[in-house]
Amino acid sequence: MRAEGRATIVVLSYNRRVQLLSTLESLQKLPGQWPIIVVDNGSTDETAAAVAQRFPSVMLIRSQRNLGAAARNIGVAYAHTPYVAFSDDDTQWDPGSLERAVEMLDMAPDVGVLSACIHVGPTRQLDPGCLTMEHSPLARESLPGPQLLGFMAGACVMRTRAFFEVGGYWPPLFIGGEESLMALDMVEQGWRIIYAADVVTRHFPSKIRDSSLRERLLIRNAIWVAWMRRPVRAAYRETSLRMRQAYSRHILWPVLCQVLLGMPRALRRRRVISPAVEKMQRLLDMAAADFSPQGPGRHPA
């Protein structure tokens, strides 16, 4: 079966017009005819007009406001392929990678997500997160790659059915570790997440980003997700760890305020994961403690 046309590329963008245009130019040069959907997340820099003019064959969806990661839900709703390859406006799939991803997903029907290998910048430095994923402590079993309990939201290929089964991205998380809730829910439903070293995406980090805001959201979201899905003792441990992290970075009070404001809504969606999935998460937490403050339990693995 031909891989071409079996995956749709969904690109999320916000106020990075020049970089998005470069990304689309690269994606359109890929071998094969891969449908491309761009979700403009309420940009104010004429992104949508530029895309419509330069790339008329690309499906363009204009969001009236910035929905964060949840804007991907809109893009996937318009995809009519069994798989979706996610890109951000600063990530570009390597030639041949989508074909390999489709082949791997076809051969492993229980795999819901392939997290790609990320090469950073023009020198193609390996993203440190890839080493973490490669050395995941979770049992590999018969999977075609190391087993994970997370993935990189803007650098993965996902089974469309799995995306819909867990309801996509939860809008209040906005952005920053937004994939952690989806990953837990997918694995809880029986889907597997793996690292695919030969499925490669290029990352050209944008200079247009609010690193301080993203750091606060990462910590807030980690605490919310812990209370939404993990047993009480584990949720307390995660909260303590994250609050110490916020204190050390001098952002304790803004993080605490954000956590408390959204906690009632998070607790209304509390559904504790099974002991088997919690055991996987504990393995990753222990590996993270040995590896680094942002090791496998804290991002893709």
Q: 229-282 pLDDT, tens per residue?
A: 999 999 999 999 999 999 999 999 999 999 999 999 999 999 999 999 999 999
3-state DSSP of the chain = CCCCCCEEEEEEECCCHHHHHHHHHHHHCCCCCCCEEEEEECCCCCHHHHHHHHCCCCEEEEECCCCHHHHHHHHHHCCCCCEEEEEECCEEECCCHHHHHHHHHHHCCCEEEEEEEEEECCCCEECHHHHHHHCCCCCCCCCCCCEECCCCCCEEEEEHHHHHHCCCCCHHHCCCCCHHHHHHHHHHCCCEEEEEEEEEEEECCCCCCCHHHHHHHHHHHHHHHHHHHCCHHHHHHHHHHHHHHHHHCCCHHHHHHHHHHHHHHHHHCCCCCCHHHHHHHHHHHHHHHHHCCCCCCCCCC
Choice among 96-110, 199-213, 243-257, 260-274 with the minimum mean pLDDT: 199-213
* Other CB atoms within 10 Å distance of the CB of residue 15: 18
Percentage of residues in the chain with pLDDT exceeding 90?
Answer: 90
pLDDT-derived band at 295, boundaries 50, 70, 90: very low
* All structural domains of the chain with their residue ranges: 7-203, 211-291
pLDDT-derived band at 291, boundaries 50, 70, 90: low
Please give the Cα distance from 46 to 189 (Å, whole number). 41
pLDDT-derived band at 3, boundaries 50, 70, 90: low
pLDDT at 1: 56
Q: In the chain, how long is the greatest CA-to-CA distance?
A: 55
Q: What is the pLDDT of residues 149-176, one digit of tens each?
A: 999 999 999 999 999 999 999 999 999 9
Choice among 95-99, 199-203, 248-252, 284-288 with the minimum mean pLDDT: 284-288
Domain 7-203, CATH number (from 3.40.50.10490, 3.50.50.60, 3.90.550.10, 3.40.640.10): 3.90.550.10
Two tokens, residue 256: 């605490």
Give mean pLDDT, residues 4-17. 92
| Mean pLDDT score across all residues of the chain | 94
Please give the Cα distance from 209 to 203 (Å, whole number). 14
CB burial readout 139-167, b (16+ within 10 A) else e: eeeebbbbbbbbbbbbbbbbbbebbeebe
Give mean pLDDT, residues 72-79. 98
pLDDT at 55: 97
pLDDT-derived band at 192, boundaries 50, 70, 90: very high
